[in-house]
């Protein structure tokens, strides 16, 4: 074992660093998905399309800023602006026109409707951006790289992936936890999540809360896509890959669990990254092996609570 570690120190270090950056991106999508489910009680398959549209929008906006001669740091503003625009435009549009019509319906119908919406949004992406790869990596290149010591080796790694992505994810986790527990609006959201009927009886406008929550969740998914855009070439299908992995995170953590989603994203991100470097043939299945192993022992997820059915 010691000999194996000595021979694979560099690969193990790369796997840990890549896994940390990947987990941060997955968390941004999964936490929005979890938040939306907690209030709306809808598993939104179309959440992955919001991630993809956020990524494409950020890349397009960044390229437009660069063409207009704006300073290089404007690329970072493009990431945030694109996420905000996607959340503010598509969030209310999807919630009011589609999701509001299927509240309280059978889960199968909800999945079919949101899957249909996902397919529509996938085609919209192809109509707007085509099928050729779109790339805009200036925000990542601008920060450069840093040498990370790992054992006897030194690993050059981008500052963007090492500090910016995990930093934004950590700030989102802390900010969201503070917002839900310390602010009036956050407590209203928690009240609607816990008992919607009781909250409405106390005068809370549940329709407004669901609209705000979905818009915020959509913005988080779009922000995840925007942050991912400098790290990869954008091609059709990135939304599908992300939503499937996010479902694995949400199911493993437990539906409605915010902090649990962060820890599970880290677990699944690191597991996938280790597989990429040491067993590439298992890269796709490792996250789901982790999910199945957890659900066999705890059907409610690592941090979830079993709900008792009322008779």
Tokens of 29: 């999508």
Q: Measured between alpha carbons, how far is 265 from 253 in angstroms, rounded to an integer?
A: 9
pTM for this prediction: 0.93
Query: What residues contact 151, with CB distance under 8 A and at least 6 apart?
Result: 9, 13
Number of H helices, E strands in the chain: 14, 2
What whole-number distance in Å separates Cα of residue 291 and Cα of residue 254?
Answer: 11
pLDDT score of 175: 95
Contact between residue 36 and residue 42 where contact means Cβ atoms under 8 Å apart: yes
Determine the angle formed by the axes of helices 184-194 and 165-182, rounding to 10 degrees: 80
* Angle (nearest 5°) at CA 288 between 282 and 290: 95
Residue 36, Cβ density class (10 Å: 0-12 exposed, 13-18 middle, ≥19 buried): buried
In the prediction, which pLDDT does 152 show? 75
Reported as a pLDDT band with limits 50, 70 and 90, residue 153 is confident
pLDDT, tens digit, for every residue of 93-122?
999 999 999 988 898 999 999 999 999 999
Computed from CA positions of residues 109, 187, 204, 94, in that sequence, does the dihedral angle turn out positive or negative?
negative
Q: Output the pLDDT for position 311.
A: 37
**Distance, CA of 91 to chain centre:** 15
Q: What is the largest CA-CA distance in the chain?
A: 66
- Compute φ and ψ for 237, nearest 5 degrees: 105, -10
The total of other beta-carbon atoms located within 10 Å of residue 283's CB is 16
Picking from 124, 86, 130, 85, the residue whose alpha carbon sits closest to that of residue 233 is 130
CB 273 within 8 A of CB 18: yes
Whether residue 5 is predicted with pLDDT greater than 80 in this model: the reply is no
Q: What is the pLDDT of residues 285-310, one digit of tens each?
A: 999 999 999 999 998 888 877 654 44
What is the arithmetic mean of pLDDT over 45-52? 94
Cα–Cα distance, 146 to 158 (Å, whole number): 6
Mean per-residue pLDDT, 62-82:
94
Evaluate whether 74 touches 65 at the Cβ level (below 8 Å): yes
Upper half-sphere CA count for residue 302 (Cβ side, 13 Å): 21
| Contact yes or no for 170/29 (Cβ under 8 A) | no
Spatial CA neighbour of 192 closest among 174, 208, 176, 206: 206
Q: Check if the beta carbon of residue 139 is closer than 8 Å to that of residue 227.
A: no
Q: What letter would DSSP give residue 72?
A: T
């Amino acid at each position: 074992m010691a000999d194996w570690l000595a021979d694979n120190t560099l690969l193990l270090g790369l796997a840990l660093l890549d896994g940390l950056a990947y987990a941060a991106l997955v968390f941004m999508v999964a936490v929005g998905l979890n938040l939306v489910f907690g209030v709306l009680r809808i598993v939104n398959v179309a959440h992955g399309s919001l991630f993809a549209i956020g990524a494409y929008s950020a890349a397009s906006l960044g390229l437009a800023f660069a063409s207009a001669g704006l300073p290089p740091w404007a690329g970072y503003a493009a990431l945030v602006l694109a996420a905000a625009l996607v959340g503010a435009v598509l969030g209310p549009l999807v919630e009011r026109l589609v999701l509001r019509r299927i509240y309280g319906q059978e889960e199968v119908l909800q999945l079919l409707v949101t899957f249909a919406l996902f397919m529509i949004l996938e085609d919209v992406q192809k109509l707007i951006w085509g099928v050729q790869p779109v790339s805009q990596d200036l925000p990542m290149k601008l920060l450069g790289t840093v040498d990370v010591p790992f054992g006897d080796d030194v690993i050059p790694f981008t500052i963007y992936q090492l500090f910016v992505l995990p930093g934004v994810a950590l700030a989102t986790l802390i900010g969201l936890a503070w917002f839900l527990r310390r602010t009036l609006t956050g407590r209203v959201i928690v009240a609607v999540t816990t008992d919607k009927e009781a909250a409405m009886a106390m005068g809370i406008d549940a329709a407004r809360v669901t609209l705000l929550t979905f818009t915020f969740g959509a913005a988080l998914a779009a922000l995840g896509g925007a942050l991912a855009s400098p790290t990869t070439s954008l091609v059709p299908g990135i939304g599908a890959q992300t939503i499937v992995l996010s479902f694995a995170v949400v199911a493993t953590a437990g539906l409605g669990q915010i902090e649990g989603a962060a820890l599970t994203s880290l677990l699944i991100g690191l597991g996938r990254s280790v597989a990429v470097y040491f067993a590439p043939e298992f890269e796709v299945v490792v996250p789901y092996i982790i999910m199945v192993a957890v659900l066999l022992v705890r059907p409610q997820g690592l941090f979830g609570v079993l709900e008792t059915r009322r008779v």
